[in-house]
Amino acid sequence: MSVAERLVVVRQRVAAACARSGRAPGDVTIVAVTKTHPAATVDEAVRAGIDTVGENRVQEAAGKKPAVTGTATWHLVGPLQRNKAADALALFDLIETVDRTALADRLEHLLADGDRIVPVYLQVNVSGEEQKHGVAPGEVADLAGHILDHCPHLAVQGLMTVPRWEDDPERTRPAFARLRELAADVGRRCGLAGLGLSMGMSDDYHVAVEEGATVIRLGRTLFGERGVR
Ligand SMILES: *Cc1c(COP(=O)(O)O)cnc(C)c1O
């Protein structure tokens, strides 16, 4: 199947999940996660109608993006080290993985002299897994508050999570609901209305959409299984 054909299936499933939960399909952005795939695949996705691309490694995006001819909004969906922050700002339009004040401060410092305001999502470790990136649920409001007070060149637009992997997507539903509740709470406490929710991947995006996802990040279901890298 081509990417275009796969995208048709994804859009149908998003529309069905929206219908089940009383949402509008237009409120869900599909981020095509193109990690491990070449620039030509990014272009194929853009030709198929994808307008947002996700990469999880700064270095990989740096190698690939110059060869991409299609126009898209680029999201960083993987962990960001402070020493890669400048490269990330050069490559990405939106950073989904801000998870600590030191990183926010580094981004702010790099942006301080300019007019550019970079939209960010705060990555939350909803499943509380030791090895996972993300701020603890109890600390999201503090991180958002820090950015509001000290990082005028960053705009907090939503929360993002990568929940614990489950082979039954229904078991991931509570994590998605948790992120939605957290966003409502942080929104109230910090005066941030309408925070987005980046959650849901190839195996569980239908559940994530039912639980309110506004951004779904899809790799394998659009491009097939990834090879080893
Ligand atoms: C790879 C990746 C995805 C896409 O995963 P699939 O299971 O291939 O859909 C989504 N989010 C993040 C953060 C990723 O690293």
Q: What's the average pLDDT block by block, 10 residues per block, for the chain (229 residues)?
A: 97 98 97 98 98 98 97 98 98 98 98 98 93 93 98 98 96 98 97 96 98 98 85
CA distance 181 to 134: 17
In this prediction, residue 209 carries a pLDDT of 98
Is the CB of 76 within 6 Å of ligand 1? no
In this prediction, residue 104 carries a pLDDT of 98
In this prediction, residue 167 carries a pLDDT of 94
> Beta strand 73-76 with 196-198: parallel, antiparallel or unpaired?
unpaired
Is the CB of 150 within 6 Å of ligand 1? no
Tokens encoding 131? 């090895």
CA distance 116 to 162: 28
In this prediction, residue 198 carries a pLDDT of 98
pTM above 0.95, yes or no: yes
149 C-alpha to ligand 1 centroid (Å): 31
**Residue 52, SS3?**
strand
* One-letter amino acid of 156: V
Is the CB of 190 within 6 Å of ligand 1? no
83 C-alpha to ligand 1 centroid (Å): 23
Write down the residue that tokens 């981004």 correspond to: 107
| Residue of 127, 217, 229 to mutate, ligand 1, most atoms within 8 A of C-beta | 217
In this prediction, residue 199 carries a pLDDT of 98
Q: Which of 7, 12, 28, 82 is nearest to 209 (CA)?
A: 28
CA distance 155 to 117: 7
Write the residue with the smallest CA distance to atom 7 of ligand 1: 202
